[in-house]
Structure 1
Amino acid sequence: MTTDITEYTAVELTRLIRQRHLSAREVVEAHLARIERTNPHVNAIVTLVAERALDEARAADDRLAAGHPVGPLHGLPVAHKDTHDTAGIRTTYGTPVLADNLPDTDELVVERLRGAGAITIGKTNVPEFAAGSHTVNPLFGATANPYDTTKSAGGSSGGAAAALACGMHPLADGSDMGGSLRNPASFCNVVGLRPSPGRVPSWPEQAAWTSMAVQGPMARTVTDTALALSVLAGPDARSPVSVPEPGSCFAEPLESDLAGMRVAFSPDLGGSVPVDPSVTTALESAAKVFADLGGTVERACPDFAGAEDVFRTLRAWQFDLDLGRVRDQHGDRLKASLIDNIDAGRDLTGADLARAARGRTELFHRMRRFFLDYDVLLLPVSQVPPFPVELEYPGSVDGVAMDSYLDWMRSAYFVSATGCPALAVPAGFTDGGLPVGVQVVGPHRADLAVLRAGYAFEQATRHWQRRPRLGDGERP
């Protein structure tokens, strides 16, 4: 056994706890010590509930010793995204408006993780109301990249990704509208899955039938991500769009033979987005790995026409729906870009929403037909490597100006508009040592297929094993 408990994967930790080689208390204590050493460098965890976690760990050990049934995540420490309500634990959404907010109930993703035996140790940093792919807010400041603390950790699940990379906890939850699970995973050399809409049901929701924003898992490995998904997925009567298939299928082994897999590869989404050359280089290497594993790799890309309008229209509508009342009551305390997004939603007409609905339907069918010829699609997760942490967003990509904080994430949010599942997997590093991820996209509801493809790539490359050196210099 390694001398550092935080080096184990979630799957390894669950086995060691069940076999009583490690106690839940030892595991929680080790991760709390890791937080103490590394969090000051990156600002990933913004609320810590150490004593509560230790009490829960003691209770978990007592339960196991008494021979009572335990869940699949028994004794594992997790931190929840600070936009996910946690009963009795401060949930700020990264905004001064909710600086002292103490929810009465856990929302569904938290409820499921805790119901499976996970132990809450705290909350992870987010942009204000999760708006943007760079984690910074007026309450807690910015989250830095563990591989270079002068760079961004991405967002909006940036605190979760940075904490995972540093070993502060082995599993995390997150959410993704335009890339918020995938982008920080790419920036921090971890794994993030944007599941198919309804795969991970959400509750509570103001508009339960909406499907652009989803919640899902993050971890350091694909297997750990699948473990978390096995708990998070499955139907729930409180979500009318929840997929009926149980999550247990994701707990099965992910090994599969990629021989003959039909792989489409497009480093620039068919020429529709600019991409930094360092990202393209990593993607070219990733495509070669899939070919070496037996896949038939071809340069091909679906037609993403209309994805821009679909995403921006439905995103603006969602922002007004979710945050319109906050804007009315506290508009003078919100960041300008957030107000602009809410106001854009208020300016929409019925014709605008109808156009977006038609466009999204057409996009779905183009993707459906595309995947008749291919099993998976390889794309960049982010169009740039991690950028300076003091910037709100990169001003240009490969010489092309970015006019807003959304423009540089088209490689992620075009996929969001399709409703397809997408997995961000570590794909290597730039010459400067910054992580780059590859996005594995699959057909509608083919979440297991993208996990299997991502797992095969991960096993062949092992990029996730290159960990950051922070706090005590002990990492290789």
Structure 2
Amino acid sequence: LRPSLGRVAAFNPSATAPRRMSSQIMSVQGPLTRSVRDARLALEAMAAPDYRDTWWVPAPLTGEPLPHPSRVALVTEVEGVVIAPEVVAAVRQAGSYLGAAGYRVEEITPPDLSRVSDLWHPIGLPDLNLSLRPFLAESGDPGIATFIESWIALMGIADQPTYLNALAERDTLLRAWNEFLDTYPLIVMPSSTQVALPVGLDIRGEDSAPLMLDALRFQLTLPVLGLPGLAV
């Protein structure tokens, strides 16, 4: 479960430096469980107040129920992105279950979905370059360091104007998504464009980085916008 930004407080008293902007607006903490019941219990415990996190908000965990039947956006195609047929079939199967439960399911794609994923790189990599990268070089896991170096070699580090423009574009895209979510409060989409990837693909070097980032691009979407999500 990926909570909304500000739902679960994130403060590390042993950190040697403040969190950079990408961590503040994209990084959240959520439970990994075997059942919805356990996820609900874990989230209740994790959502304890801590005002040391300046993004935390004292919002109630339970709000007004969505109107029923709610409209569900089913993402089965994205312009410029190749999604494996098996993945599309799994998304449609999930949609059929929701339809049988009375939800109004439509195949429609949220605004600029592919572009949202792309924004992670100019927003996140400059901060990662200044914080995580030096730590990995000194005492980090070699596999993670290999992938980070491959990622940076592929995407590069955004300069200051590009970084600031990406933050501004994020605001524009989030506004469009908020309007979309007002009509479709639930979105069902792939967590990966491909079926299971080969073991060790992420540490094979620069040639594997494009495959990894393309397959997992939808896992970058919600962090960029600070929106919640649940992977099943």
Instruction: Give TM-score scaled by structure 1 length.
Output: 0.42
Matches within 5 A, 1:15-414: 193-204=1-12, 206-207=18-19, 210-247=24-61, 249=62, 259-268=68-77, 270-304=78-112, 306-326=115-135, 329=138, 335-341=145-151, 347-392=157-202, 403-414=210-221
* One-letter identity of the residue aligned with 1:315: G
Q: Distance in 2 between matches of 1:392 and 1:329?
A: 20
Question: Given that residues 266 and 378 in structure 1 are in contact (C-alpha distance below 8 angstroms), is that contact kept between their aligned partners in structure 2?
Answer: yes
Where do 5+ consecutive residues of structure 1 fail to align? 1-192, 251-255, 395-400, 426-476
Is 1:217–1:229's contact at 8 Å kept on the other side of the alignment? yes
Structure 2 counterpart SS, 1:405: helix
Larger radius of gyration: 1
Q: Is the 8 A contact 2:125 2:157 kept in 1?
A: no
- Are the counterparts in 1 of residues 20 and 127 from structure 2 also a CA contact under 8 Å? no
> Does the aligned pair in 1 maintain the 2:74–2:187 contact within 8 Å?
yes
Of 222-231 and 317-326, more deviation after overlay is shown by 317-326
Measured at CA, do residues 203 and 332 of structure 1 come closer, stay the same or move farther in structure 2, by a change above 3 Å? closer
**Which structure has greater strand proportion?**
1
Write the distance in 2 (CA, Å) between the matches of 1:335 and 1:202: 24
- 1:241 & 1:314 partners in 2: Cα distance? 18
Higher relative contact order (CA 8 A, sep 6+): 2
Structure 2, gaps ≥5 residues long = none
The alignment-based identity, stated in percent, is 28
Q: Within 1, Cα distance between the matches of 2:196 and 2:153?
A: 30
SS in 2 for 1:406: helix
Task: Report the Cα distance in structure 2 between the residues aligned to 1:300 and 1:327, rounded to whole angstroms.
Answer: 41
Q: Secondary structure at the match of 1:420?
A: coil
User: Is residue 26–residue 225 contact of structure 2 (8 Å, CA) maintained in 1?
Assistant: no
Give 3-state SS (helix, strand or coil) of 2:29's partner. strand
Deviations 1:436-472, CA, capped at 9 Å, x for gaps = xxxxxxxxxxxxxxxxxxxxxxxxxxxxxxxxxxxxx
Residues 417 and 322 of structure 1, relative CA distance in 2, 3 Å threshold: same
Superposed CA offset, 1:64-121 (max 9, x none): xxxxxxxxxxxxxxxxxxxxxxxxxxxxxxxxxxxxxxxxxxxxxxxxxxxxxxxxxx
Shift in CA distance, 389/302, structure 1 to aligned 2, threshold 3 Å: same
Q: How far 1:402 moved relative to its partner?
A: 7.2
Contact 1:235 1:245 in 2 (8 A): no
Partner SS state of residue 202, structure 2: coil
Provide closer, same or farther for how the CA distance between residues 327 and 225 of structure 1 changes in structure 2, counting only shifts above 3 A. closer
Q: Is the 8 Å Cα contact of residues 117 and 218 (structure 2) preserved in structure 1?
A: no
Q: Deviations over 1:383-427 (max 9, x none)?
A: 222233243389xxxxxx9724322111221232222111112xx
Q: Which moved more, 1:295-304 or 1:314-323?
A: 314-323
Q: More displaced, 380-389 or 237-246? A: 380-389
**How far apart in 2 are the matches of 1:330 and 1:216?**
26
Separation of aligned partners in 2, 1:240 and 1:345: 30
Identify if the C-alpha distance between structure 1 residues 392 and 361 changes in structure 2 by more than 3 Å, giving closer, same or farther: same
CA–CA distance in 2 between the matches of 1:294 and 1:318? 44
